[in-house]
Structure formats: structure tokens, C-alpha cells
Amino acid sequence: MYPKEKINISFLNLAAQSPSLELNLAFSEKIHIENKRNKHLFFMCDAALKSCSVNVFNKKSICKICRYKAEKGFNEFKKRNKNSDLIKVNRSDLFSLNINHDEFDINVKKELLLGVHSTIGSQLRLDDMSLLDGRWRKVKDRMLDSSYALFTYFNHFLSKNNVNNFIIFNGRLSCARPLIESSKKNKVNYNLFDAGVNGKVPMYSTNEMFHSIEFEKRNSFITYLKYFRESRNLAAKYFSYKRKKIPINDVAYTKNQIDNHIDQSVKNLSKPIISVFVSSDDEYRFIGSDWSKYTILDQIESIKELISSKLSDKYDFVIKMHPNQKSIHKSTMNKYKLLSNDVTVLFPENFTDSYALIEYSKLVINFCSSIAVEANYLRKPVVQIGPSKFVKFSIANFEETTQDAIELIFNNKYKVMPVRGSIISFTYYMKSSFALPAYKFIEDGVYSYGGVFLKTPLYMRLIAVPAKLFVHIVKGDREILINFSLYFKNLIFGITKVK
């Protein structure tokens, strides 16, 4: 215990996964430098969790990689920041504590469960936990046990020590949610970190989630005001990159689409077109308190309501699935296949150019996708059903329910919203200002902390291959076969390139 001195702490988990390790060390160093007199403690997961997002089935070979890289990373941190210590947390440290689920605050229990659902949803691209089979229900139980244990462990530590800051990865996952909740309870700042485009664009926040509506709004407006004079040029440049399929702050999801191509099934429709852009909402469905005042609608049920409404007398509907939905859970994909019997559905692999479809449409309906910002920039009316992180940018006609959206459209009360909201958003993405001096993105899959590359020996990576293959098989993930050469190079060179 450190009851007499001010300290900052970091949870060094998911260390087997780059760039989360390098980001953790670099962000922790940033916090440490800003609080030079404070000791910095790293809590290292020493095979403590029964299940986590990087090792859902608790395979020993993956735990060994995690521990190896965590210790190696901390040693580099210690060389650069002397006033730091490492605390290894093993399973007995977590589960020897008296953990009574019934005694937990109802809001804490809700948040911990959301963290587990968010993790499993990300693994399986699933937003309906009732569809989990027996194996994944066991994973859920082990993950939830670990979450309760983490909350209890850190709640005890924070209550006994003078902690200023807690550095935590991402925030929405099962091994982060408990740390946030224990921080809130003990009035400790929680500092989240992550990165977009596979580590290219770092980001961090204090006392709020990245998907927080206020986080997106505040940082966008601050950046816009800073670069106000050049904002229109920045926005034009950003959108030009998007149309050319050049990644900026996100993956270029449209890279397989054909420029200006519109599927013949769309051209065959006779009425004015309403294009409905859907996306995976598993990340948003399990965010929790940040979106608690909004209702996240079931997109498929909402579409059924739209196409069976009086709007169908005036318009034809085209459902454009997001390219990243190609890997959604088969149960959700089957729903879209059934939906295609009643309406035109452009599946993820369809070559239709999203921007050409927007221009071809009378208006755009959106749920939580960023395509709304881009459609508004193209000066198309956008009707937003339910929340998105852009809801306060005035880029869409916002309606909470599908029925309200139907009435708005039927009565022609929608309008093209000001272009400024799109410019504000684009400026923010062109001028992201989350600097981490000790972190460096070298190229896709290659990162360094303090100029050092943190890799595990080849033999460790080889030993872990069966465990990693097992996860892909259980998930029904064929990407490892389709992109075998990519995965093989990652294995041999110890990197994490993505397609």
C-alpha cells in the first residue's frame, strides 16, 4: 500500500496485443510526466483473469505472451521513468477477496454486464446475447466473474490509497469497465486511451468514453475553432480522400467499391429512392450510461416498419449494408437475407459506390453510421433514426422513433441541414491532436514505445498458434484462410498488420 504519497496507476493488460501495449506505456508516460512528483504503478495481469478480450478462452500460451510483453514493456518504462513500480496481480489476488454479487450497486452491475456483452459482441459481431451457445455462455460467466473480481480488487486499492489517475485501455470492454466503475466510486480520474486505423491515430480522454456524444462534440468544436480559417479547405481535402478510398482516421471501408457504380437492381427501381445506410451497432448498443437517455433501435425492425409504411407508395427503398458487416454474426446476416425478399438490399460485398448511391437518392436515412456526415456534406437531406455520436452536429433531421421519421418524410418536413456540421467533423478528423511523444506508428502493424520494438520470441508465437486458431474456428471466422499469407507474415515477423 502507498497511503502517504500521491500515485498514478495503469492496468497493464492485453499486452499480447499491439498497439495497446505501446499506447498504454506512452500514455502512462504522458500522465507521469505531467505529475512528476507522483509515483506511477503498473498493475500487470499475471494470468489473473478467467477470460479477457485478448484471450477469451484463457489459453496458457497467450497468457505467457501477455506476461512476457508486459514485463518487457514495463522495464522500458522504468528506464525512462525511474519513479515507477510493477505490481503483478495473479488469480489468487483477485479471487481470494470476498465477492458477493448481491451486494453490488445496481448501476455497477449493469455496467459490468455491458462490458462483458460489449467484449463478446466485438468477438462475434453479435448484438443479441440470447443467441449465445453453451460454450460462449460459459465464456460470458467467466468474463463476468473476472469483472466483479477486478472491481473488488481495485475498489479496495483505490479506497486505501491516494490515487490521482487511473490509465485504462478503451473503456468499454470487460477488463476496463470495472476499473472505470471503481474509479467513479472513489472519485479518481479515469484516463482512457485507444487508437484508430490499427494504431495510426492515437486518442485519449479523461472521465468519459470515446463514443460519448459530448466527447465527440467538444473535441470537434475545439479543433474547428482552432483551424477555423482553413476548415473548409480541410473538409474538402478530407472528403476527397474519402472518395479516393484513402484512410485518414479510419479504415477505408469503401476500398472494394467501384467508383460511380450503382447496382442494376437499384437502377431498375421506378420511384424516387430513399437509401437506408445500416451498420454494426454492437459497439453502440453496449456503451451504457453515455447513451442511456437514448433508445437504440433494432435496425432491421425499423426497416420493416419503413418499407411497410405509407412511404412505400411514394418511394422505393434501398438498404445499403456497411462493408464491415461482412463479418457480422450469421444470425444477423440471415435476417438481412430474409429482408431482401421484401426490399432491395445491397450486401457488404456489393460494388455499389456509397457516395454515388447518396447522390442518386432523394434522401438518406441513417442510424449510427458516419455516412450521415458525408451525405450532409454532399447536400442531401439526412433523416437520423435514433442516436449517433454526431447527433449534436446538426447534420441530420433527428427523430427518436421510426414512426416519427415516417411522418416527417411523408409530410415533406425534412430539410437539408447546414454544411457546417460536416465541416466541423471533417476538420477534427484531419487535425486530430492527441499527441503521445513516446509512441510511434511506423507502418501498419509496426509500432514502438520510446524507440523500442516490443516483441515476443518466435518460439512463443509459434506455441500460441493452436490457441489462436482455436478461437478463429470457434468464431467461424474464415478470414484466417482468406488472408493466410498476411497472418503468416504477422506470425513470423511478430507484427499485427490488418487487411
3-class state of residue 106 by DSSP = helix
The band of 198, judged by pLDDT with boundaries at 50, 70 and 90, is confident
The band of 60, judged by pLDDT with boundaries at 50, 70 and 90, is very high
Task: Return the pLDDT at 67.
Answer: 96
Task: Return the pLDDT at 484.
Answer: 83
Task: Return the pLDDT at 282.
Answer: 66
Residues 323 and 82: their CA atoms lie apart, in Å, by 47
The band of 85, judged by pLDDT with boundaries at 50, 70 and 90, is very high
Task: Give 488's contacts (C-beta < 8 A, 6+ positions apart).
Answer: none
CA torsion through residues 91, 94, 95, 101, sign: negative
Higher pLDDT, 472 or 308: 308
Angstrom distances, CA of residue 119 to CA of 43, 171, 262, 263, 365: 21, 11, 36, 35, 28
pTM here is 0.89
Q: CB count, 10 Å around CB of 32?
A: 21
Task: Return the pLDDT at 151.
Answer: 95
- CATH 3.40.50.2000 maps onto the chain at 248-424
Fold topology of 6-217+434-459: Rossmann fold (3.40.50)
Task: Give 208's contacts (C-beta < 8 A, 6+ positions apart).
Answer: 192, 214, 215, 290
Q: Name the superfamily (CATH) of residues 248-424.
A: Glycogen Phosphorylase B; (3.40.50.2000)
Task: Return the pLDDT at 3.
Answer: 64
- Highest mean pLDDT among 53-57, 295-299, 359-363 belongs to 359-363
Residues 150 and 297: their CA atoms lie apart, in Å, by 32
Task: State the average pLDDT for the chain.
Answer: 92
Q: CB count, 10 Å around CB of 447?
A: 25
The whole-number average pLDDT for the span 251-266 is 90
Angle (CA) 480-483-489 rounded to 5° is 95
Task: Return the pLDDT at 283.
Answer: 62
The band of 498, judged by pLDDT with boundaries at 50, 70 and 90, is confident
3-class state of residue 240 by DSSP = helix
Angstrom distances, CA of residue 382 to CA of 151, 190, 302, 439: 42, 36, 16, 39
Task: Return the pLDDT at 304.
Answer: 98
Task: Return the pLDDT at 212.
Answer: 81
Residues 239 and 262: their CA atoms lie apart, in Å, by 20
The whole-number average pLDDT for the span 482-499 is 86
Residues 495 and 485: their CA atoms lie apart, in Å, by 13
- Decide if 115 contacts 52 (C-beta within 8 A): no
First to last CA, the chain: 45
Which cell numbers in the block locate residue 296? 437504440
On the question of pLDDT at 290 being above 70, the answer is no
Task: Return the pLDDT at 1.
Answer: 61
On the question of pLDDT at 84 being above 80, the answer is yes
| Interval 86-132: pLDDT, tens | 999 999 999 987 787 777 899 999 999 999 999 999 888 888 899 89
Q: Look-up: residue for cell 433527428?
A: 398
Residues 372 and 416: their CA atoms lie apart, in Å, by 12
The whole-number average pLDDT for the span 153-173 is 94
Which cell numbers in the block locate residue 140? 460470458
The whole-number average pLDDT for the span 254-268 is 94
Angle (CA) 290-110-147 rounded to 5° is 105
**Percent with pLDDT over 90 in the chain:** 72
The whole-number average pLDDT for the span 273-290 is 78
Q: Look-up: residue for cell 456534406?
A: 377
The whole-number average pLDDT for the span 57-61 is 95
Task: Return the pLDDT at 35.
Answer: 87
Task: Return the pLDDT at 292.
Answer: 65
3-class state of residue 452 by DSSP = strand
Which cell numbers in the block locate residue 103? 451486494
Task: Return the pLDDT at 288.
Answer: 62
